[in-house]
Structure 1
Amino acid sequence: MKPLAFIQAIYLLWGVSSLSAQTPGKGELDIEAFMEERFAFQEEDIDYEDLYETLLQVHLQPLNLHHATAEQLRSLLILTPLQVESFIRYRDQFGPLLSIYELQAIPEWDLPTIEKILPFVLLEPDPVPVRPPGLKRLSHAENAYIILRHRRIWQTRKGFSPPDTLSDGRLSSRYLGDPNDAYVRLRLQQPGDFSVGLTAEKDAGEPFSWDPGSRRYGMDFLSLHYTLYNKGALKTLTLGDYQLQFGQGLVFGAGFSVGKGAETIATVRRSSLGLRPYTSVLETGFFRGAAATVTSGNLAWTAMYSYTPRNATVQLSQDSLEVSDSYLSSLVLSGYHRTESEIQKKARAREKNIGGNIHYKNPKNGLQAGANFLYTRYSRPLLPRFRIYNQFEFRGDQNAIGSLYFSYNFANHYLFGETALSRSGGTGSVLGIMSSLSRKVDFSLAWRNFERNFHSFYGNAFSEGSRPINEAGVYMGINYKPSRKINWSAYYDHFSFPWLRFRAYAPSAGSEWLSRFTYTPNKSLIVFLQYREERKSRNLLSEEQSANHYLLMEGTRRNFAWNLAYQPTSGWQAKTRIQQSSFSINGRTTRGYAISQDLSGEINRFTFSGRISLFDTDDFENRQFLFEKNVLWAFSVPSFYGQGMRYYLLASYEISRHLTGWIRWAKTSYSNREGIGSGLQEIPGSEVTETTIQLRYRLHR
């Protein structure tokens, strides 16, 4: 243990010499900066809402550095293996930290690293064990707030126009609700003690109605949770909606995982974060029921039960009118209930899940190991329409999957892996290592293999595809930091698909590589250059086919980005970004680009940011994605193709100690369109304007 007087004297001397010039930031979560550092390029099929909620969970319930484990520190996707090992060694040698400023004394930790981690950590004394909270303690929760949000597209979509009369005299389909998005979030949370929350949402076009028959109770989607933490041997107890994350995500892969991106080391593995409440508005990927984790020495036991409604398309078996002969032809994942046909699919299926986890942790040598099991049963058989590419997909009314996993930390090297077996006999495996080869070089290697008949409904492992099925691959990543000002990261990933896939009617293979160079000459300026190339095969379009109607051709996608961020003071920042793409297949190449300029500032209780973007693309393949700042705890990653400009302005004002307001205006103007969107989402004209208004009331300040 370190002598208190000696350490305090060191702090006095150090504070005079250096801390006055190098003060860690305020610990605010800049989600845009965090995402840009970890994603190569934005993609449309990623659930960014779920990622934001995952980050928000840790931000609102930060890790206590007095007790944070190496596994929890790695889960932040910020620290290298060497930095994690250095922190644990420092804490073991000198005892609990006295101040957040002491992080600068840890070897291998620099100020940029500390600023990145501050939104997710804190220093607090050991909590006093307390009983489950009563109404009085609930009403005095440290994090207690209510958020009200309204969003609207002001042009009239076809779905909100008067219906047409069809040839048979029927009226065409239209949305049953108004064009307003509405969102309500209530949270009462005491970190390390309890969390109570309600989240409700109504999408544009969904009616606000009370109809138990179609399971609509005002808002279209409602999510509730009640969670207790650290009540003796009871580590966590959750009632309501929740998620689980253990091992490498083959069985329980809660929420969103970053995967391949500009952060080439820490993102290849998954963390065993265990049980946590679900607070997103995505209507899939969560359990609803009860779950608990109990600890006993180095063992932790988790048991869960869930009985969840699922949106589905129900079909009658051929030549049968009996309800008992019906089946599910598909599960509907969109979450929209705007028309009669969409409402008819709401909660048509019931999904029962029973499962558990056993987790072992040896604090002395860093070994962790565990086992997962999950049994799933649907109220009706799931029988998707047969296609040659999906003949090994899940069919039936029940599935079971189990796995074994481990992780082991040896000095600056971290090994991890998991192997799972599903009821079909298909297996899935992940094995990898993260290493700090020196103070300047970090390396990662990950191998995965998911058989074509491996079925995991809640899996979220490291992969090229959106699900761990029908894929094998090897990934290598490197990060080189020769000095404080220069950083280079790169990865190469080779993958194959042993069986057919959607839009690829033959076994295929591909590869992807990325290189990113970052230059930070001082605290005010950051510049990076990034290049990515991906090669993947897919079916040619019908007009490009020969007599073989399933001819595959390799397509090559290239992306380039240059980004400059200048922050002369803590309250002002300017950012310029140029990105370009190309897509080549069958001897034809198309291109696209986008240029954006951002400015943000802060004056007393008023903050604002704005952007002007210009885009020009040849086709949909080159659509450009740009992260945009939004109101607090909301996310925006629009895509643009064609020709046009995009503007947005965002402002917030702290009305009082308790009340803060946000308003956002955004507009997209196209120069080559007379209509935007398709179907009931179509907007006549060449412009789209949207506004977002949000209020947050904090109960205890």
Structure 2
Amino acid sequence: MKKWILIGILLVLVSLKLPAQTYRKGEINIEAFIEELFAMQQGEEEFEDMYESLLQLFLNPIHLNKTTPEELKSIFILNPYQINSFFTYKESFGQLISIYELQAIPGFDMETIYKILPFVTLSENEGLSNRPLIKRITTERDAYFIFRQNRVWETRRGFTPPDTLSNGRLTSRYLGDPNNLYARFRIQHSKDFSLGFTIDKDPGEEFVWDPDTKRYGFNFLSYHFALYNQKKWKAIMLGDFQAQFGQGLVYGAGFSVGKGAETITTVRRSSIGLRPYTGAMEFGFFRGIGASYQSGNWTTTIIASHAPRDGRVTATLDTLERQELIISSLQLSGLHRTPTEIAYKDQIRESNLGGNLQFNSINKTFQFGLNSLLTRFSQPFIRNPQVYNQFEFSGQENHIHSLYFSYNLHNYFFFGESAISKSGGMGSTLGMMSSLSKQLDLAILWRKFDRNFHTFYGNAFSENTRPINEEGVYIGLNFKPSIRYNWSFYYDQFKFPWLKFRTYAPSEGYEWLSRFTYRPSKAVLLFAQFREESKGRNISEMLGPQSTYQLAVGKKWNYVINLDYRINASWSIKSRVMGSRFDFNRQISKGYAISQDLNADFQKWRISSRFVLFDTDDFDNRQYIYERNVLWAFSIPALHGQGMRYYLLGQYRVNPKLTLWARFGRTIYTDREQIGSGLQTIDGNTQTETTFQLRYQFNR
């Protein structure tokens, strides 16, 4: 009875406190997520897989009455104090009856609650499994089809007639048209089933049916069928899927962030297990079968995959002068525009056989697991030897094995993983997250990856893009004395014991970031952010007589000052000033960008716009700003040189089934008459792109 009285009071308070606010459960505020989790934004390719993982969490929300600490950590929103408070509340008051009960839990303010709402639920699937599967699929409301077309309107060199060389040969050109075509179909119900496909044609790729070159209209096809919670079978995957267990040393797919303005929760990976792959990136996924079987506190997962990969296969002579085929390079771009790129398509077969064994204690505070993965290529992989890559993977197969754990003790979360690959190289991470008080959070992470540690599907916390040849210690702090003020800070010290690309000597460095956020009201958000990074790299890559590579330390400073202001329920603005300074070999260069957004939301209609001025001395000072785009698409252009950029995005919901998007963007440079290089060159100082998209939702 007391609990029902409490919920009634909360409902009254919500109605009094938030009369003008509405929340649409069917949306992810991806812009807010990127602003917090990725303090320094990079190229678009680094966000695509992250957004796919975020989308999987959104489509498969966490049931608050059945969740575990591991699940709640996977969304990178709640700190240790909030997670511990959540389960303490449930022990005292029982299961949640209403989502508004979250306000009664210590540490849960309205800002936090609005952040997690897209990823949690209290609805049940009871009675669903009693209906035939085909009936559940054909009547599912979460079924949709998306089609997208976008292109750059200025003519790139790759689309012009070829030139004739002095030897009579023609220069290479793109075979297809400049349109990028993308389509996705999916039907899924959280914790029950999922099926769908994704098809994609990149600009310059030819839309042709040619089995000899393994091109069948669209140049890429991804597909999957998944069942969940079939008695003791926790998950069964057919087609394309990914896996994440432990801290990402062996299986590191999924929503992993690293260093950002959220300095606490992002240092740890969560064991989310198997999940469908629905993206358009043409690598980083398994194709075959995966299954997880749960018996008591133990869960066993098996993975069997046989997938095509792009790469260059060449013929060499062995010691007996017999011809042998080898892989000289792997191609990860996924582009098949020219005869050379087409020749690389699906030339390699990659086979994977792996598994996971995981134990979870009854009270869900302790987790322990083992990972194993064997990867074999159709031909030996022999890299072009360079001074920096002599400890990289070479051969036809690799196997890697690891042990991992996580342990929750009140407001302290301990976690770690240690792995060894076929080469004998080891990789290890060990960390702790803690809420030292209601206002202060702390995170510490140590990692060490040998120079000959080889993992193909790993995605552990690291300074490098891959966990190899690195040692480091990270310390993060977050101080929130009140709902209005927040200060986040991290410091990361790292070193690279062996050579790297563009760094031909052992080196070390550091990075720190500090962000101060002020929220005087629900309508205003102001933050200022400063970052410094110090790394060594080659002064010159040109070798002279009897010379050696010389290193210099490059120091880069970044700053961002940002203001978000919601004028009323329909209109909002965002103003930003950002800049950088790069000091390398006693040469100093600078850059800045100033942007202004104006956004409108009229329920059926939405309009977003931005105007940017930028001026940078060189590419090292390029400025990245996340742009709003059509649903489930990214735009994070690298602004460098001098010029301006603007875009206009419109969205219109025709009816409950059909929604349309249209976007126009243009960059105008004032310091050049040619944009890009090679076949991507545009003669002129303007680049214009448009995007059109439709989404049709079935059974609405």
Q: TM-score range by the shorter chain?
A: over 0.9
How far off is 1:7 after superposition? 2.2
Partner SS state of residue 252, structure 2: coil
Matched residues in 2 for 1:12 and 1:304: separation? 48
Matched residues in 1 for 2:39 and 2:418: separation? 28
1:154–1:653: structure 2 CA closer, same or farther, 3 Å change rule? same
Residue type of the alignment partner of 2:48: E
Alignment of 1:285 with 2:284, yes or no, is yes
How far off is 1:318 after superposition? 4.0
Q: Indicate if the aligned counterparts of 2:248 and 2:459 stay in contact, CA closer than 8 A.
A: yes
Unaligned stretches of 5+ residues in structure 1: none
1:100–1:499: structure 2 CA closer, same or farther, 3 Å change rule? same
Residue type of the alignment partner of 2:476: G
Q: Indicate if the aligned counterparts of 1:316 and 1:322 stay in contact, CA closer than 8 A.
A: no
Matched residues in 2 for 1:376 and 1:132: separation? 40
Name the residue aligned to 1:327: 326
Partner SS state of residue 176, structure 2: coil
How far off is 1:643 after superposition? 0.2
Name the residue aligned to 1:566: 565
Name the residue aligned to 2:23: 25
1:323–1:73: structure 2 CA closer, same or farther, 3 Å change rule? farther
How far off is 1:10 after superposition? 2.5
Query: Which piece of structure 1 moves more, 81-90 or 372-381?
Result: 81-90
Name the residue aligned to 1:174: 173
Query: Which piece of structure 1 moves more, 82-91 or 304-313?
Result: 82-91
Partner SS state of residue 81, structure 2: helix
How far off is 1:11 after superposition? 2.6
How far off is 1:128 after superposition? 3.7
1:413–1:166: structure 2 CA closer, same or farther, 3 Å change rule? same
Name the residue aligned to 2:613: 614
1:699–1:623: structure 2 CA closer, same or farther, 3 Å change rule? same
Query: Which piece of structure 1 moves more, 92-101 or 74-83?
Result: 92-101
Matched residues in 2 for 1:51 and 1:437: separation? 30
1:409–1:19: structure 2 CA closer, same or farther, 3 Å change rule? farther
1:160–1:365: structure 2 CA closer, same or farther, 3 Å change rule? closer
Matched residues in 2 for 1:322 and 1:145: separation? 57
Partner SS state of residue 503, structure 2: coil
Name the residue aligned to 2:679: 680
Query: Which piece of structure 1 moves more, 459-468 or 132-141?
Result: 132-141
1:105–1:503: structure 2 CA closer, same or farther, 3 Å change rule? same
Matched residues in 2 for 1:417 and 1:253: separation? 14
1:90–1:590: structure 2 CA closer, same or farther, 3 Å change rule? same
Residue type of the alignment partner of 1:308: A
Matched residues in 2 for 1:137 and 1:532: separation? 51
Residue type of the alignment partner of 2:4: Q
Residue type of the alignment partner of 1:385: N
Residue type of the alignment partner of 2:403: L
Matched residues in 2 for 1:363 and 1:569: separation? 49
Correspondence list, 1:207-356, <5 A = 207-318=206-317, 325-356=324-355
How far off is 1:562 after superposition? 0.3
1:323–1:627: structure 2 CA closer, same or farther, 3 Å change rule? farther
1:398–1:241: structure 2 CA closer, same or farther, 3 Å change rule? same
Q: Indicate if the aligned counterparts of 2:10 and 2:100 stay in contact, CA closer than 8 A.
A: no
Partner SS state of residue 47, structure 1: helix
How far off is 1:122 after superposition? 1.1
Give CA deviations for 1:314-335 in whole Å, capped at 9, x if unaligned. 1111489999601000100000
Q: Indicate if the aligned counterparts of 2:443 and 2:475 stay in contact, CA closer than 8 A.
A: yes
How far off is 1:555 after superposition? 0.4
1:679–1:146: structure 2 CA closer, same or farther, 3 Å change rule? same
Partner SS state of residue 388, structure 2: helix
Alignment of 1:556 with 2:555, yes or no, is yes
How far off is 1:393 after superposition? 0.3
Give CA deviations for 1:531-558 in whole Å, capped at 9, x if unaligned. 0000000000257989633000000011
Alignment of 1:10 with 2:9, yes or no, is no
Name the residue aligned to 1:514: 513
Residue type of the alignment partner of 1:585: F
Correspondence list, 1:20-99, <5 A = 20-22=16-18, 25-27=23-25, 28-44=27-43, 47-99=46-98
Give CA deviations for 1:414-455 in whole Å, capped at 9, x if unaligned. 000000010100000000000000000000000000000100
Partner SS state of residue 251, structure 2: coil
1:128–1:363: structure 2 CA closer, same or farther, 3 Å change rule? farther
Name the residue aligned to 2:602: 603
How far off is 1:132 after superposition? 9.1
Q: Indicate if the aligned counterparts of 1:542 and 1:549 stay in contact, CA closer than 8 A.
A: no
Query: Which piece of structure 1 moves more, 84-93 or 671-680?
Result: 84-93
Q: Indicate if the aligned counterparts of 1:24 and 1:101 stay in contact, CA closer than 8 A.
A: no
Correspondence list, 1:516-595, <5 A = 516-542=515-541, 548-595=547-594
Q: In angstroms, what is the RMSD of aligned CA positions?
A: 1.7
Matched residues in 2 for 1:688 and 1:48: separation? 22
Q: Indicate if the aligned counterparts of 1:518 and 1:528 stay in contact, CA closer than 8 A.
A: yes
Name the residue aligned to 1:453: 452
Matched residues in 2 for 1:500 and 1:318: separation? 30
Matched residues in 2 for 1:682 and 1:150: separation? 22
Matched residues in 2 for 1:186 and 1:508: separation? 47
Residue type of the alignment partner of 1:16: V
Matched residues in 2 for 1:386 and 1:294: separation? 44
How far off is 1:166 after superposition? 1.3
How far off is 1:24 after superposition? 7.4
How far off is 1:386 after superposition? 0.7
State the number of aligned residues: 697
Name the residue aligned to 1:163: 162
Give CA deviations for 1:11-42 in whole Å, capped at 9, x if unaligned. 33333345431467333211011100111211
Matched residues in 2 for 1:321 and 1:592: separation? 58
Correspondence list, 1:648-687, <5 A = 648-687=647-686
Matched residues in 1 for 2:48 and 2:411: separation? 33
Name the residue aligned to 1:117: 116
Matched residues in 1 for 2:659 and 2:143: separation? 14
- What is the aligned-residue identity percentage? 53
Matched residues in 1 for 2:236 and 2:254: separation? 19
Matched residues in 1 for 2:251 and 2:319: separation? 38
Residue type of the alignment partner of 2:273: G
How far off is 1:572 after superposition? 2.1
